[in-house]
Structure 1
Amino acid sequence: MEFDYFYNRDGERFSYYMLPKILVTDRKFQSLSSDAKILYACLLERTALSFKNKWIDQENRIYIIFTLEEVMEVLGRSNKTAVKVLNELDNSTGGLGLIERKKQGLGKPNIIYVKDFLSIISSGGKNYSSEVKNIHTRSEEPTLQEVKKIHGTNSNINKHEGNYPDFSFGKKSYGIFQNVYLRDEEIKELKEVLVKDFSNYVERLSAYLKSTGKTY
């Protein structure tokens, strides 16, 4: 097969699964196969849809439905391989623990809780995932005042220094999902205000926007 090149902004016309960079670069996730990482990205995207549809249990946890047949289709794998990949992610089957499956019975598909990969990132005993969870519960966007209360920073969080420029608005994309768009002067101002908490603020905002479908 012979593929054509991308020209100008052709690459922006597609939709993408967002694979968090930390799943590729951090040693904590080295045991996962490439299929498992791709599947997690697919499941992660589905959580945003579940949030919009109010698929939230009594403990305020988002859950999804992603059948074995869907796994086979999205990965292009056999039934046996699809089961193996799911098991890699599920702690109850000896996996890493990025998902938790709950049986519904009566022939219904399993409910899947997609676990927060950011919850293993902490600094000084501070779990930044809990900060994002609090934002979801209140259904409010994080404010500078909230972020100022967070102490310390995490050197393991990649700052995503604007790999994908937005030429239309003169902004660059930041955050784990590359969905926080800021101009250089805005970055400078935020860093002056937040100092070491800047990276944490961007990651929290990025995770919040991804889960709610909002834009910044």
Structure 2
Amino acid sequence: MHIDEVKNNQFYQFPKWLLTEPYIELSHRAMLMYMFLWDRRGLSEKNGWYDEDGKVYIYFTNEQFIEILKCSEPAIIKSKKELTEIGLLDEVRQGINKPNRLYINGTKNSLVQDLKNFKHGTKNSLVQDLKNFKGINTNIINTNISNTTTNSAEKNVFDYYQRRIGSLDGFQYERLKDYIEIDGIEPELVKRAIDRAADNGKRNFSYINKILKNWAQNGIRTIAQQDEEQRSFADSKAKKPGTFERPEYGQGYDPELGF
């Protein structure tokens, strides 16, 4: 494995106790669902998503689970039910047009392991975390620091998204972050994708995600490269009068999305 691959690889944490009784009886999909929720705790801590009792909650919609687990909504509901019945998940409805709050539970043993692995903080702060434990380990946010660190350029992108498109949930946040950190797309180019969606009345993450995915697959990672791609497209269109128009100039085929 090349050094660049090592630097760019990120990993999910999978709690080992999920492979012990009684959790070993969970389906693999339910275990993966819990792993994704476990990983999302750091984002909740970063955004201050905790209730009046200090319990951290997570935002992860059924649609996001469908996309990441590649299954149907009934399968997602079934997996949630498994986690709920075994005591690892509590789902709280917030009302119409608001995502449900998801609270994950753990075991005391898993908390102790969290504290052993927790590198950021003092001995006193760890002791205080242990004292505050009340049967649910979501108060302890233990994720890889690289997953929760956001530089100023990335923060600018996230703020820009929320100004031009709308609220940014946890899944969308992580996906944009991956495009910048893993795929190497420069922040200004991500903002261009956001502009393209907003300017064409496509204020949804799916549209932006398709643009960025297409750019990443075609090796377009900078503003200069995308400008060149646009010029090449315009030149080819000029040689073939009456062919497709870009959405910026008219209705029709969008070469970035493939439709």
TM interval, shorter chain, is 0.5 to 0.7
Q: 1:213 to 1:10 in 2, by over 3 A?
A: closer
Q: Percent identity?
A: 27
Q: 1:144 to 1:20 in 2, by over 3 A?
A: same
| More helix by percentage | 2
Candidates 94, 104, 109, aligned match of 2:99: 109
- Cα distance in 2 for partners of 1:212, 1:55 equals 18
Q: 1 or 2 for the larger relative contact order (CA 8 Å, sep ≥6)?
A: 1
Structure 1 counterpart of 2:90, one-letter code = E
- Contact 2:45 2:141 (8 Å CA) reproduced: no
Aligned to 1:173: none
CA distances 1:148-171 after superposition (whole Å, capped 9, x unpaired)? x99xxxxxxxxxxxxxxxxxxxxx
SS of the aligned residue for 1:97 comes to coil
- Contact 1:36 1:85 (8 Å CA) reproduced: yes
Aligned to 1:210: 142
Compute the displacement of 1:113 (Å). Answer: 0.7
Runs of 4+ in 1 over 3 A off after TM superposition: 6-12, 143-147, 211-215
- Contact 2:42 2:142 (8 Å CA) reproduced: yes
Question: Which of the pair has more CA radius of gyration?
Answer: 2
| Residue 36 of structure 1 pairs with residue 30 of structure 2 | yes
Q: 1:12 to 1:128 in 2, by over 3 A?
A: same
Which blocks of at least 5 consecutive residues in structure 2 are unaligned?
132-136, 149-259
CA distances 1:29-78 after superposition (whole Å, capped 9, x unpaired)? 11111111111110111111000111111000000111000111111101
| Residue 80 of structure 1 pairs with residue 70 of structure 2 | no
Structure 2 counterpart of 1:84, one-letter code = K
Candidates 6, 14, 20, aligned match of 2:15: 20
- Contact 2:45 2:56 (8 Å CA) reproduced: yes
Count of matched residue pairs: 137
Aligned to 2:62: 68
Q: What pairs with 1:33-182 in structure 2 (closer than 5 Å)?
A: 33-90=27-84, 95-115=85-105, 117-119=106-108, 121=109, 128=112, 141-143=122-124, 146=127
Compute the displacement of 1:212 (Å). Answer: 8.7
| More strand by percentage | 1
Which 10-residue stretch deviates more, 11-20 or 97-106? 11-20
Compute the displacement of 1:84 (Å). Answer: 0.7
Compute the displacement of 1:128 (Å). Answer: 4.4
- Cα distance in 2 for partners of 1:213, 1:85 equals 28
